Each structure stands twice: as C-alpha cells, then as structure tokens.
Amino acid sequence: MKSSPHRPSIELLFKRGLGSAEIARRLQISSSTVRNVVAAIKKRGDASEVKKSGRPRSVNTRNTRAIIKKRIIRNDGLSLNRMASQLGIARSTVQSIVKNDLKLKSYKLRRGQYLSDKSKAMRLEKCRKLLQHFQVRRVSDVIWTDEKIFTIEPLPNRQNQRQLLSKDDSMSPKRRLAHNRLFPKSVMHFAGGPFILQQDWAPSHGSRSTLAVLEAHFPGFLDKNLWPASSPDLNPMDFSVWGMLEGKIAGKVFATVDDLKAALEVAWASIDDGYLRRTVNSVKKRLRACVKARGSNFEILL
C-alpha cells in the first residue's frame, strides 16, 4: 500500500497544535489517514515512512502478471499447473496472481444439452406458444411426465469420494476401486400428473413406453406440436425432481430391484408438496428466460 503524500503537511499542522479533524478538513483528506500519521508521529517522533521488511518481488512482477493475463484472455480454460511449468515458476505463485492480482476465480463448466441453430429456433417458437398457452391455462394443471432408469448400484463419484491412506498403502490392495457393472439390474421409474404426484414402474428394457403409460393413466398432455424437443431444462421432472430423488438414495447399494423400488417409494413419499408446487410454478419463468436467450441454454439467466 502506498504511503500518503500528505505526511509532511499532516506532521507540520499537528506540531502547530491542530487536531486530527481540523487537519483532515484543511487538507480535504480522510480523517483515518490523518489519525494513522498522527499515531506514527506520537510513536516515532516524526511521520517518515518506515522501511519495509522482506525482499522485493522477484517472481510476481508486472511482466509476469501481464504474461499470465494475456494467456488467460486467449484461453480461459488453461491449466494453472501447465502455465506454471511453462513459465518456470511455482503453481502457488500463478494461483496467487490469478486470485489476488487478476481477481479471477475458477468455476466448473456449466452442464447443458447441445442445441443446434435449428433446435434453438424451434425452442424459441414453441416457448412463445407455451407462454401464450399458459395465459389461458394454469401451469399447475399440466401433466408433467418423464421416466428415468435407476440402478441397484450407486454411480461412483471419483471427485468427492476419497480414501485416506498412507503413501505405502496408496498402491496396495487396500486402495478401493470405484467400479460399476456394464449392465447392473435396474428399474425404469415413470412419474407424472398434476403436481407430479403419481408414479409407476416400467421395465428398463421392456416395450412399455411413456406414451402408453400416458394413454393408460392420464386424459391429456402437451403433445409434440406444442412441447419443444431437446428441452429437459423446461420439464420439472428433468431440471429438479429426478435430482431430488437421486439425492435421497445417493450412495446406497441395493441387493435387489425390489429393495431399490421400496427405497424409491419411500423417497418419493417424503418429497414435500410445497417444493413440487414451487418447481412447477417456475416453468413460466424458465420459458421467459428461454425466449430471452433466443432458444439457447438459459439457466445462467435465472
């Protein structure tokens, strides 16, 4: 931090008997600056700047910061390890420059479906139609449906599931293996209805389709002429409910498909009705965001 250029003036006025508030008023500077200089005068007898300890910067220099900034501008997905190796400096130095000097923060890539220009145009058109549709029909009356496969084995999370071992044990049989079978036993969970309160089961590789379940159980639904394809970010089941259900059974291993079904039924029954209503009512907000994004991925606008 740079020292105040008003130090000599503050010292002169202070020695003439002026108070800190009066000095700040005359010099038109902050009173905190005056108080700090006055405290230094009282402690050391003068307002001269104390020589700072420590060695001057030799790596985190203006030139190094400029090089790193230019590289990030060209490619904001650069690896800090690789950049440090290429520049011949420590990764901690690169990290410090990026965080403290450039004021940048590392974010995970957002997940979303791929949309071609044709898909975006189609989504834009149908989102506008749906907004008009919901002017005369309540969004809570829509039959929201979807189906999802659940397996008896949990999916491994290699980023967050860790194991504490010594260096010697890290290459021994004690180190667990995160694995999943190629075709684990599974069940297809179908759900739908007003406020998404009904559920059903279908074999995960059987012939029973979503359309067949709809025709058997529900009197009507938004068809393909109104509902945009490639739009899981508009269906409450996809953008919220399935994730909620997965979270409730996450990390559990089930011996049989019946055990998995029982756990899903318990998890389903525990979902709060208020949460479902809020989720369904957010569809119109998402439709407006989709229109604003011209049919493109829009969740950053929410």
pLDDT of 199 higher than 60: no
Q: What is the DSSP letter of 17?
A: T
Residue 218 or residue 19, greater confidence = 19
pLDDT-derived band of residue 145, with 50, 70 and 90 as boundaries? confident
Q: Which residue has the higher pLDDT, 157 or 262?
A: 262
Distance between CA atoms of residues 115 and 228, nearest Å? 12
Q: Indicate whether 211 pLDDT > 70.
A: no
What is the torsional sign of CA 124, 126, 130, 133? positive
Q: Is 0.75 surpassed by the pTM of this model? A: no
How large is the average pLDDT for residues 294-298?
92
pLDDT for res 124? 95
At 121, the pLDDT band (50, 70, 90 cuts) reads very high
What values do phi and psi take at 39, rounded to 5?
A: -60, -40
Structure confidence at residue 160 as a pLDDT band (50, 70, 90): low
pLDDT tens-digit map of 18-40: 888 888 888 888 888 888 888 88
- Specify the higher pLDDT residue, 165 or 255: 255
Please give the order of strands across the beta sheet that includes 144-151: 144-151, 186-193, 198-202
Confidence (pLDDT) at 126: 93
**Is 161 or 61 the better-scoring residue by pLDDT?**
61
* Tokens encoding 269: 């029954």
Tell me the mean pLDDT in the region 182-209: 58
Q: Which residues, 6+ apart, have CB-to-CB distance to 97 below 8 Å? A: 60, 64, 65, 68
* C-alpha torsion sign, points 5, 10, 12, 15: negative
pLDDT score of 198 more than 50: no
> Average pLDDT of 81-107?
91
- Candidates 278, 269, 275, 299; CA nearest to 287 is 299
* pLDDT higher than 60, residue 207: no
Q: Which residue has the higher pLDDT, 43 or 2?
A: 43
**Mean pLDDT value across the chain:** 81
